[in-house]
Amino acid sequence: MENTVTRVALFAAFIAALGLIPQITLPIASGVPITAQTLGVMLAGLIIGPWRGALSIMVFIGVVALGAPLLAGGRGGLGVFVGPTVGFLVGWPIAAIAIGLLFRATTKLGVMTAGLIASLLGGIVVLYAFGIVGLSVIAELSLLKAVLATAIFIPGDILKAILAAYINREVRRARPGLSE
């Protein structure tokens, strides 16, 4: 139990720290910024597993809901749940679950390959499914326009997936007994 609490708190803090990296807001994406925090979502699912990863993100989102300005750009409070990023926020814990489960299911392919597959499918495909729907509803865009607006994020998220897979591999090399 103590190990779980420590890992969950550590990853919630890590995702908050990634929010300190300045965001890039593109006018084409209806106010959805490019942030480093999705890297934290990917790493949470890979390193501490699907359930602890999701829990760490729910703790983080709960603190944000209470008003802490922990999202990139210093955003926080209940207002973020009615903004264009709401679908991505809702999707973060689900993406962490998908990443963790996909990683477990593909580890026979090697840690780096499994981490990359899990991060690409869970951290992009699953997450974007939620983000696109949220953006479509809040920004009153058709699903096609929301897809097109978010397409600009894909190259950066692919780079984050590669980085997450690499960091995961190196953490596991340093801690061979690491288990979720």
Percentage of the chain exceeding pLDDT 70: 94
Give the number of other CB atoms < 10 A from CB of residue 144: 10
* 108 inside domain: yes
* 180 inside domain: no
Q: Which long-range contacts (CB under 8 A, 24 or more apart) does 68-71 make?
A: 68/16, 70/15, 70/16, 70/19, 71/19, 71/35, 71/37
For the cut 80, the answer to whether the pLDDT of residue 25 exceeds it is: no
Number of structural domains, the chain?
1
Q: Domain containing 37 — which CATH number?
A: 1.10.1760.20
pTM above 0.85, yes or no: yes
For the cut 90, the answer to whether the pLDDT of residue 165 exceeds it is: yes
Read off the pLDDT of residues 28-44 as tens digits, 9 standing for 90 and up: 656 667 789 999 999 99
Read off the pLDDT of residues 30-82 as tens digits, 9 standing for 90 and up: 666 778 999 999 999 999 999 999 999 999 999 999 999 999 888 999 999 99
Report which residue type is found at 10. L
Domain around 40? 2-174
Question: Which pLDDT score, from 0 to 100, does residue 176 have?
Answer: 81
* 179 inside domain: no
* 166 inside domain: yes
**Which residues are paired to 34 by β-bridges?**
24
Which regions of 76-161 does DSSP assign to beta strands (E)?
none
Read off the pLDDT of residues 12-22 as tens digits, 9 standing for 90 and up: 999 999 988 87
* 94 inside domain: yes
For the cut 80, the answer to whether the pLDDT of residue 27 exceeds it is: no
